[in-house]
Structure 1
Amino acid sequence: MGAEVWSAIIAGVALVVAIFSVFFAAAQSRAAKEQAQAARGQLELADKARRESLEPYVVVDFEVPKENPWIIHMIIENIGSTPARDVKIDFEPTPYTTMDSETWRFSDIKILKEGIKFFPPGRRIEILFDNGREAIERKLEHRYRVTVNLNGPFGKVEPQVYDLDARLLDDVLFVSSRRTVHHVAEALQSIDKNFKSFLRRQRQIDT
């Protein structure tokens, strides 16, 4: 072969090597970029998990107390690890109970109107919500979507939403129907006492 042929072959090989080197470098760059993105993603997930573990978590639910299965309590509890601030609880639709009257409505209680400024972890609040037996007799639905807005140590926390249905407690409430007349009278007296005490506390808070 002549010198020109060998020169062409060498030039072709060099071109192939150059092209391969370009593709290899691009592949390495792409792999490095993907690894960096994956590392950033893992760090972001770890940071999100850490932040969530340090955020307050406020639960709202209905409950029938064991000592008096004729009534329904609304429970508000911070089961998170840090204090919640500026807690606002919104019901949809507006709650209506058998105890509502022209002068007092459950929806007007201070916690629902003004919220909770500071709610430490582990704190649990029980509020008399309704007379369960009367609610059943009057066929009140008591189904609500409750949205809890609050702030945590890192600022605003994602709203916590609950679909509550007090009618799921009907079976618990019906247990009390098997009690004696004496137990019924005691339960009614307890309801009246709890309700009057609740109204006194609300008036003191409002003033």
Structure 2
Amino acid sequence: MKAEHWSLLVSVLAFLAAAWAMKYARSQARSAEGQLEVARRVHREQNEPYVIVDIQLHEAGSLLLVLIIQNVGPTLARNVRIAVTPNLTSTQGGDVAEALAQVIARPIAMMPPGRRLVYFFDSAVQRFESDLPMLFEFTVHSEGPMGPVEELKYTVDLRVLGETLVGQRATKPLEDRLDKVSKGLNELTGYYHQANQQAIAATRSRRMEEVRQRREAGQQNHATGSADGSSEPVGNA
């Protein structure tokens, strides 16, 4: 092969190598930019407030449904605004519905991390027996330390809670609590008798002895009165 052919071949190979190196460098740069963007997004999300809205039972065994607004994020949330579809209604009347509407319409100036706001919503039993809406969609806008937070949407389906209460009497939670109290009192009474058995027996014996002495004293007084000839005076016929 002639020298000029070798020179041309070397030039072509060098060009291809340079093109490949440039393409690889661009690919690495795009990958680095993507990783950096992901890292920035993760860092931002980890340091943003996270305001959730939910409807749930007030506590385990409760018959009250409550509306809960809570900041579960690590930073302060500002200018929290909430919207809901459809409007919140309650079997407890228009006053409750109006109060809930005011809660939803009123912006919350700030919510520190862990702040939890609880509002009465409805009676669980009456709600599940009514024809009122059971599905709600909440939309939350807020601002964090780095500016506006991404819009959050929550779908709340009350039918999920209703299924957990199927077949349960309205007074069942109260009955269970009273049953626990009754068992506790019975156990306490048993412990008391075991710990004070001797004292209880001594007190019982003392009281029986006092009753016996009073009875003997009464019999003795009666016998003494009969021996002295004392009796009720008898009137003239």
Unaligned runs of 5+ in 1: 1-5, 184-207
Asked whether the equivalents of residues 79 and 142 of structure 2 are also in contact (C-alpha less than 8 Å), the reply is yes
**1:177 Cα deviation after fit:** 2.2
Q: Which residue of 1 aligns with 2:75?
A: 82
Unaligned runs of 5+ in 2: 176-237
**Per chain length, whose mean CA-contact separation is higher, i.e. which structure has more relative contact order (CA < 8 Å, sep 6+)?**
1
Q: Equivalents in 1 of 2:152, 2:162: separation in Å? A: 26
Higher CA-based Rg: 2
Identity %: 31
C-alpha spacing 1:112/1:103, structure 2 compared with 1 (3 Å): closer
TM-score by length of 2: 0.67
C-alpha spacing 1:103/1:50, structure 2 compared with 1 (3 Å): closer
Give SS of 1:27's match. helix
Asked whether the equivalents of residues 90 and 96 of structure 2 are also in contact (C-alpha less than 8 Å), the reply is no
Q: Which residue of 2 aligns with 1:14?
A: 7
Q: Equivalents in 2 of 1:87, 1:103: separation in Å? A: 22
Asked whether the equivalents of residues 90 and 97 of structure 2 are also in contact (C-alpha less than 8 Å), the reply is no
How many residues are paired up? 174
Residue identity in the other structure for 1:10: A
Q: Which residue of 1 aligns with 2:206?
A: none
Trace 1:113-192 onto structure 2 (pairs within 5 A).
Answer: 113-173=105-165, 175-179=168-172
Q: RMSD between aligned alpha carbons?
A: 2.3
**1:134 Cα deviation after fit:** 1.7
Q: Which residue of 2 aligns with 1:69?
A: 62
Q: Equivalents in 1 of 2:101, 2:171: separation in Å? A: 34
Q: 1 or 2, which has the higher strand percentage? A: 1
TM-score by length of 1: 0.76
